[in-house]
């Protein structure tokens, strides 16, 4: 695991965007794993700018998202499907048919999880972007989740409900379940780039980088992957 510590959030966004741009230039039909949350917003804006300036194209890029809430329609403004269209897909030249997000509205969620995992195996993610929760979750793999899990339905941890309540009118409106790539799904990616900024992530970054590999700190499993780059600002690195 390689760790790059930068001055601030803006530098993290620039560095991560440069890596993704270079990967797409090297392989125009890159399979890119994407994340939601506030962490990737700056980086997505840089990718939008690069695409609009004709520096690179997403025409043949395929994307797979990590996760989605259970029970929110794609049109709900807090669904991850809506987030991705608004924050990235609708502003770049990607073909929407090449973008994939698990459905949290499927009648049979187990079948949806199986379908999504088969899709990941078929596409084979070249580069997976990750954020990290303050409890060190990746995707929606909360502390205690088995490292052997593939795409599955999960209950969200209390800290996650509290952290995500800021996007909803009340905490009771936050969905309590999600469908997420499992840890074993995430580890199939050929290369992983994790970004984090701010002091609220400092303990999570510490257990991920320095802690023992343990299911109590889900992101620590990344120590076992051969090609992981962690890009953080000084605040997120402050407990290292």
Just list the catalytic residues.
67, 135, 137, 142
- C-beta closer to ligand GLP: residue 57 or 153: 153
Considering the complex, what minimum distance in angstroms separates the CB of residue 160 from ligand GLP? 5
Block residue for tokens 């992981």: 228
Residue nearest to ligand GLP (CB): 131
Q: Identify which of 228, 40, 218 has the alpha carbon closest to the alpha carbon of residue 135.
A: 218
8-47 residues in contact with ligand GLP (CB under 6 A) are 35-39
Binding string, residues 136-175; x marks residues near ligand GLP by CB under 6 A:
---xx-------------------x---x-----------
Q: How many helices (H) and strands (E) does the chain have?
A: 7, 10
Is residue 179 close enough to count as binding ligand GLP by CB under 6 A? no
Considering the complex, what minimum distance in angstroms separates the CB of residue 85 from ligand GLP? 17
Is residue 68 close enough to count as binding ligand GLP by CB under 6 A? no
Contacts 24+ apart (CB under 8 A), 102-105: 102/65, 102/67, 102/68, 102/151, 102/179, 102/180, 102/181, 103/68, 103/179, 104/68, 104/69, 104/70, 104/71, 104/72, 104/79, 104/175, 104/178, 104/179, 105/71, 105/72, 105/73, 105/74
In this chain, which of 102, 131, 182, 218 binds ligand GLP, going by CB under 6 A? Answer: 131
Q: Which residues bind ligand GLP (CB under 6 A)?
A: 35-39, 66-67, 131-133, 139-140, 160, 164
């Amino acid at each position: 695991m390689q760790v790059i510590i930068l001055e601030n959030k803006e530098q993290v966004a620039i560095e991560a965007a440069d890596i993704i741009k270079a990967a797409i230039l090297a392989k125009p039909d890159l399979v890119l794993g994407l994340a939601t949350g506030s962490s990737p917003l700056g980086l997505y804006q840089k990718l939008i700018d690069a695409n609009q300036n004709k520096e690179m194209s997403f025409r043949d890029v395929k994307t797979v998202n990590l996760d989605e809430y259970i029970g929110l329609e794609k049109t709900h403004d807090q669904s991850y499907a809506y987030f991705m269209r608004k924050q990235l897909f609708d502003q770049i030249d990607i073909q929407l048919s090449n973008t994939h997000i698990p459905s949290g509205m499927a009648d049979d969620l187990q079948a949806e999880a199986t379908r999504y995992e088969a899709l990941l195996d078929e596409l084979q993610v070249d580069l997976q972007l990750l954020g990290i929760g303050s409890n060190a979750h990746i995707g929606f793999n909360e502390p205690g989740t088995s490292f052997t899990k593939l795409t599955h339905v999960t209950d969200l941890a209390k800290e996650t409900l509290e952290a995500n309540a800021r996007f909803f009118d009340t905490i009771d409106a936050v969905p309590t379940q999600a469908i997420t790539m499992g840890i074993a799904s995430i580890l199939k990616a050929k290369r992983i780039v994790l970004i984090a900024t701010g002091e609220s992530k400092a303990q999570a970054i510490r257990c991920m980088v320095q802690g023992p590999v343990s299911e109590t700190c889900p992101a620590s499993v990344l120590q076992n992957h051969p090609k992981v780059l962690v890009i953080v600002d000084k605040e997120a690195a402050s407990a290292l």
